[in-house]
Amino acid sequence: MVQSRRIAATAIQVLWMAVCVVPGLNPTDLRAAVASTAARLPSTQLSIHWIHPPDDASRGVVEVTGLDAATLKQLRQADWKPEQWQRLMAVRVEQGDLITDIGLPPMLGTYRVTANSLRFEPRFPLDAGIAYRATFQPDQLPRGKTIGAKPVSAVFRRPVRTEPTTVVTQVYPSASTVPENLLKFYVHFSGSMSGGHIYEHIHLLNDSGKPVELPFLEIDEELWNPDMTRLTLFIDPGRIKRGVKPLEEIGPSMEAGKSYTLVIDKEWRDSMGIPMKSDFRKTFQVGPVDREPPDPSRWKVVPPESGTRNPLEIVFNESMDHALAQRMIDVSPVSGTRMKGKATLDDQERRWTFAPAEAWHAGAYKLTIQTTIEDLAGNNIGKPFEVDVFEDIQRHLTNSTVTVSFEIR
């Protein structure tokens, strides 16, 4: 702070001397020059710090405060590429007293300008026990070089937890009976998990308690969400599609009329390297094969009353894919744009509800449904899972959505 004042005083003294000795420099020009210089001086309140959700230290967010309103406005309007944002503020892994930026680019993430600050949220969770340094470079601000402004930085080290706390919170489908040709499971965890060798910890047992041989599609690119709290687990399609060798030689992963148990063992470690708190087991029955595509004309739409924010309800004639059904159905007035709101599924993924952000108005509405929505067997609208590739391409070229109309009175 003292240094900033000295810089300001020196700059103003230089300008004052200039007006005294340089002919033609009038006081108006001097005042403009002084104002410009003062505007570029570093804020004495400029600071950078890490903030975290109270229940998840892995989701670190970096916040820079002390920027004036004009600078925040310029940042808000800046149409910058990722590398430009990274020059202004970057987060890197730190080792000892040196930042290990050789061969390690800044972390990827999202930059956002709030009413009072600039924020950066890393794309991936922070690893336990690793130190991260966030550095803000004031001389990279849109207003140009800043006189006397030095970088500000803050270091965060995620603490290492020793007690197991992570558990499996839910597995979808939640239905107690699934088709013999079930396509996938979604496994939800209470915290971020570690990837790699996941199939060592996932087992499918038959009704005798014996492991089913190679039931899952084991791929190197594991299908996680960005937080690594949800895993998409595919049944091997070769054990589902007719005319494919694995199905003919080994048979289906599951057989109708029998029960099976999906087991997630507690030796699986979370993102902090700690084993899970307990095993997870889900026992379910297997019903007949389902090769019938979903048919929206068979869905029951239950409209709410106008003037309320009561949810719109769709009752499916079968259980639907949990993740896809939540994001592949849009609601809108017939002559309007997509409505904002929240979609949820319950009743074993047989009932879809939509709670609008604003009250309903009387009139005609429509559901716009992407034809790639799936039932539990991976069948799409107008296309069974077993359709060949050519037919699939043709279908996508001709019709990507269907609509269902309804009225609110």
CATH at 205: 2.60.40.1220
Give the pLDDT score at 341. Answer: 96
Task: Please say if the pLDDT value at position 328 is more than 80.
Answer: yes
Read off the pLDDT of each residue in 379-397 and give the average, rounded to a whole number.
63
* In a domain? residue 2: no
Claim to verify: residue 379 and residue 270 sit in the same structural domain: no
Backbone angles phi, psi at 336, to 5 degrees: -125, -170
Per-residue pLDDT band at 387 (split at 50, 70, 90): low
The more confident residue out of 270 and 399 is 270
Task: Please say if the pLDDT value at position 141 is more than 50.
Answer: yes
Give the pLDDT score at 142. Answer: 86
How many domains are there within the chain? 3
Task: Please say if the pLDDT value at position 125 is more than 50.
Answer: yes
* In a domain? residue 399: yes
Report DSSP letters for 146-187, one per residue: -TT---EEEEEEPPPP-S----EEEEE---SEEETT--EEEE
Claim to verify: residue 195 and residue 278 sit in the same structural domain: yes
Give whichever of 127-141, 221-235, 382-396 has the largest mean pLDDT: 221-235
Task: Please say if the pLDDT value at position 79 is more than 70.
Answer: yes
Question: Tokens for 330?
Answer: 């849009």
Report DSSP letters for 216-272, one per residue: B---SS--B-TTS-EEEEEB-GGGTSTT-HHHHHT--SS-TT-EEEEEE-TTSBBTT
Per-residue pLDDT band at 101 (split at 50, 70, 90): very low
> Using an 8 Å Cβ cutoff, are 149 and 104 in contact?
no
**Among residues of the chain, what percentage have pLDDT more than 90?**
59
Residue-wise pLDDT tens digits, 25-66: 444 443 443 333 333 444 447 899 888 776 666 778 999 999
User: Among 90, 125, 157, where does a domain finish?
Assistant: 157
Claim to verify: residue 386 and residue 279 sit in the same structural domain: no
Is 0.75 topped by the overall pTM? no
Domain that holds residue 337: 296-408
Q: Which of 223, 221, 219, 284 is nearest to 254 (CA)?
A: 284
Per-residue pLDDT band at 392 (split at 50, 70, 90): very low
Helices 2-21 and 27-39, axial angle in degrees (round to 10): 160
Claim to verify: residue 128 and residue 215 sit in the same structural domain: no
